[in-house]
Structure 1
Amino acid sequence: MENEQKDDKKKKAPFFGARHVQCILMFFGISAAITQRTNLSVAIVAMMDKNSANPDFEEYQWSEKTKSYLLSSFFWGYFVTQIPGSQLAHRFGGKITLLLGIVLSALLALLTPLGVHLGDWQVLFGLRLCQGLLQGSTFASVHTLLSKWILVEERNSLGTFCYTGLPFGSVLMMLVSGWIASSTLGWPGIFYFAGLFSIIWGIVWYFFGANTPRDCKWMSEEERLYIEAALVTTSKPEPENATMKTPWLKIFTSLPFWVLLLVQCAYTWGFWTMITEIPSYMKSILKQDIQSNSLMSAAPYLANILLTFVFCVLASFLIKRGYICVNTSRKLFNTIGFWVPIVPLILLGYMRADQSELALVLLVIIVGVNTASNLGFLINHIDLSPNFAGILMGITNGAANVMSLLAPLAVGVIVTDANDVQQWRIVFYIIGGMYFVCNLLFVLFGQTKIQAWNYPKTHDLQRAERDEQI
């Protein structure tokens, strides 16, 4: 009788429990991190245009080249700490690395207005560089946490929900920035908002965040047993897992890993080109002022958030009903997210100032539908290796963020005249080409089965073979 009761405990868990709270906290943590990254994209429009900003604050006459340096500066630092940050998250757990990265970066956001006043664009570049260094462990930390908290059948829903914090943070920043820049706070208020939002999140995360179910003191025993029993076949229990050596050679000779890396690079190039350059495109080509600019820039990311939930429900429905397997689901939704936006991207390069409404519709399709890929490549790291999901994310995100660094620089080289729509057309063609080629590779060579190198020790190879058959 006692054994039956224990089995029931393992099989049951609350519909809403600690794992959901952790995902909500990670959602807002990613949102906080993104507000710090994207605040400059809109703020720089106000900083360089006295007509669209509060006239009581300084105006800066930076060239388009300098502007591209500033917009890419965050990623110079962000790239450097991707792999070291993932190693720290793997060793010490994702909670502390996520906390320190976001909160310390927030302090620099609060210092940004003073820094740019004292040292012009050079100090601003340095501050953004340091913020990138601090935030390098963000996504590796989240992936490390998800691999300990989220069940296989919940990856589509809860895993994707966490990363919806990325467009949510973008929308939040874009919506408030136009209002803040035109208020008595001026453009400095944009940086203050991002900093304070991140610090408030950090306080809540410190008290309620946890590395693993075992570390969470306030969750129910039933839910803890449920999660640990469900994950026992894919990740080794602590503390052995904390000291497991990373199989670097096997990772770097894995075809599914390289395909995943290329897809993430393409996604990141497209995402950060759009998010950093849309405000400038709106102002230069569609002739929108700072307030309407921020609203129009935010609309596609609002659609991105809403469609994320639609795609999550659809994916769960198709898998639970047995219409498609996990592997097909990953490739199907990645294809929707990459190939559907290609035609709208190309058309966007042919818009005129009097077609701002049509341009907005195209942007909503491009950015909104792009979220389907979150159910494709974004959680494929955990599919391939739950034990090293954070490290895989550190590697792929590090490579991908070379794209984040190069994308605004490339725009700066291509778009020498921001009012020339033909130059913007080239930018959109490049994104479309990358989307097409990299998704084709993912469809042909991507995998979802757990790789044998997830279990470095010899006696674990049998477990790997068993998991591949499931």
Structure 2
Amino acid sequence: MQETLEKTPLLKDHKSKEYTFSLWEKYTSCRWQVGIIAGLAMSCSILLRLNMTMVVVCMAAGNLTVTVVQNGTDVTIRDPYLDNYVYWDSAMEGLLISGYYIGQVFTSLLFGTLSGRISGKKFILFLTSVLIVTSFVTPALTFVNPYLVLVTRILIGIATGGLEPCGTQLLSNWAPLPERAQMMSITEQANSIGGIGNFLLSGFICNIPVLGGWPFIFYIFGGMNVIAMTLWIFLVYDKPEQHPWIKPKEAEYINRHRTKSHGKKLKVPWLKMLTSAPVWACVLGYLTSGTLFMVMAVCLPLYIEQVLKFDVGTNGLVSALAFVGRFIGALVFGYLSDWVFTKGWLTLKTIRKTCHVFGTIGSVPIIIGISFLRQEDQVLAVVLITFYWFVLTCMNCGFRVNPADIAPRFAGVISGMCVFLNSAVSLFVPLLVTAVTPNGTADEWQSVFYGCVGVSVTGAVTFVVFASAEEQEWAKDPEENKDMVIKVTGNNNNTFDDHLSLSTEFKSLHQGKNTYS
């Protein structure tokens, strides 16, 4: 009976290598160096994508007047710092928060299609440069017209439309199967780190007694992106074979445990891709995650301000703690899913579905509990919000990793589809949230949280029904030899037959006593 790759043990004989790496060798390797720098770059870009959620809170004027004592008499005067603040109504705030998704809608699919055909390194460098320049000019435009600020948010959305698809494709080139969940979850860890930095640092930056503090959110975060791109230029390469310092052992390990495209231009099988149930499982999983992210992360400062009644500085800290939960969850569940796979306890398909369901359904009781909390439950609310994100992040070891399972050569294209549709949906989520919570009451926010429960359950069911972990026929490279029977003779003279999909590079590792039939 022909075995699929997910059920086949790694081949071992006296000729093949065990490919064992110490923790130091693993995390200082070129593949993890690329992954970590990619995560850093994505984290810094998240700062510029999410910063508007804190800016709209920080730039709103507090007391319009100040009472002082002059000659023993209380005198009310205008706040001298009032010129540093801007007032926007809730509709404009929702529009500006969702503004970058408008630009992302128009470019994510296009850039996702290009991700397998152009240099991801150069393209991400270009897109991030656009982010930096646009962010630097935003504070000046704020005092002119809010719609000019909306234009900058749309430009940021256009630039970010290619970041995740190109990053996904680049990491797909570097991630060996035994480490795939960990490396591919770097994107989620980047989102978490960026979210932590945005909310935590923004709260402190807002208190800078110059220009109201909030313009420095754009300037400081833009400068951090400049540093990240400097490291990107010197340390990141598109493929292992292009890296000047990679060791032969590591290059051999990566090539043995990944699908290669032979460097040729990709022809996207659009019809087969769009009619593939596993592809839509990834897309719907992404939409589930994106909707929950918009409500429970992007709109989180509004909930913390309106219901929990935290001040601006504490608001940023509490919002950051939610992303701490996401970051720890990405590390823990990414490691556990890869560890279970290498032990052979579960098939890859079962691991992906289990992780997705545990994240979506396991987080439901927590969000229901959050919906009943009020101002007097501030501490419990912070704990539950953080724990909610820790549990929910497990789903990323399902849908987010899955494109590299079902179509490694087209992982960037599928990611582009996901970002494209998610951007379209995310356009309306902040607007819907602000429309449902016009008064910012606890009861209004409870309705929002119940909506999240429905999204979680729907996302879990669709992924379980449609998801797969096997490379799809339409995604396979036609130049690779398929279904070759390998007879492997070990030192103990025991033999076994395995059916594997092998590339030419893989076969070259098994010459001599290994015979092909």
Q: TM-score, normalised by structure 1?
A: 0.92
CA distance in 1, matches of 2:372, 2:433: 17
2:475 equivalent in structure 1: 454
Aligned-pair RMSD on alpha carbons?
2.3
2:452 equivalent in structure 1: 431
Shift of 1:248: 0.3
Shift of 1:287: 0.8
CA deviations on 1:134-170 (whole Å, 9 max, x unpaired) are 1101110111111110101111222223430111100
1:404 to 420, 426, 441: 426
Shift of 1:7: 6.4
Q: Is the 8 A contact 1:23 1:162 kept in 2?
A: no
SS, match of residue 91 in structure 1:
coil
SS, match of residue 192 in structure 1:
helix
CA distance in 1, matches of 2:81, 2:424: 36
2:222 equivalent in structure 1: 195
1:36 equivalent in structure 2: 48
Shift of 1:460: 5.0
Paired AA for residue 358 in structure 2: I
CA deviations on 1:73-129 (whole Å, 9 max, x unpaired) are 010001211111112221112111211112211111111111112x23111101010
1:361 to 372, 380, 383: 383
1:303 to 325, 333, 346: 325
Paired AA for residue 240 in structure 2: P
SS, match of residue 267 in structure 2:
coil
Indicate how the Cα distance of structure 1 residues 7 and 41 shifts in structure 2: closer, same or farther if over 3 A, else same.
farther
| Identity value in percent | 25
The yes-or-no answer on 1:98 pairing with 2:124 is: yes
The yes-or-no answer on 1:122 pairing with 2:150 is: no
Shift of 1:51: 5.2
CA deviations on 1:59-86 (whole Å, 9 max, x unpaired) are 2221111111111101000121111111
Shift of 1:54: 10
Shift of 1:9: 7.9
Indicate how the Cα distance of structure 1 residues 300 and 12 shifts in structure 2: closer, same or farther if over 3 A, else same.
closer
1:289 to 287, 297, 311: 311
Q: Is the 8 A contact 2:178 2:342 kept in 1?
A: no
CA distance in 2, matches of 1:392, 1:196: 31
Deviates more, 1:271-280 or 1:345-354: 345-354
1:337 equivalent in structure 2: 359
CA distance in 2, matches of 1:306, 1:429: 25
Residue ranges of structure 2 left out of the alignment (5+ in a row): 1-13, 65-78, 485-498, 503-517
1:245 to 262, 267, 276: 267
Q: Which runs of 4+ in 1 moved over 6 A?
A: 6-10
Shift of 1:430: 1.1
Shift of 1:225: 2.8
Q: Is the 8 A contact 1:57 1:187 kept in 2?
A: no
Q: Is the 8 A contact 2:260 2:409 kept in 1?
A: yes
Indicate how the Cα distance of structure 1 residues 51 and 338 shifts in structure 2: closer, same or farther if over 3 A, else same.
farther
CA distance in 2, matches of 1:139, 1:57: 38
2:435 to 408, 413, 430: 413
CA distance in 2, matches of 1:397, 1:198: 22
CA distance in 2, matches of 1:170, 1:398: 21
Shift of 1:359: 1.2
Computing the radius of gyration from Cα coordinates, the structure with the larger value is: 2
CA distance in 1, matches of 2:80, 2:281: 47
Residue ranges of structure 1 left out of the alignment (5+ in a row): 1-5
Deviates more, 1:53-62 or 1:363-372: 53-62
Paired AA for residue 197 in structure 1: M
Indicate how the Cα distance of structure 1 residues 86 and 7 shifts in structure 2: closer, same or farther if over 3 A, else same.
farther
Indicate how the Cα distance of structure 1 residues 57 and 172 shifts in structure 2: closer, same or farther if over 3 A, else same.
farther
Q: Is the 8 A contact 1:78 1:133 kept in 2?
A: yes
Shift of 1:351: 1.7
CA distance in 2, matches of 1:368, 1:461: 42
By percentage of residues, which structure has more strand? 2
Q: TM-score, normalised by structure 2?
A: 0.84
Q: Is the 8 A contact 2:188 2:327 kept in 1?
A: no
Indicate how the Cα distance of structure 1 residues 331 and 188 shifts in structure 2: closer, same or farther if over 3 A, else same.
same
The yes-or-no answer on 1:209 pairing with 2:236 is: yes
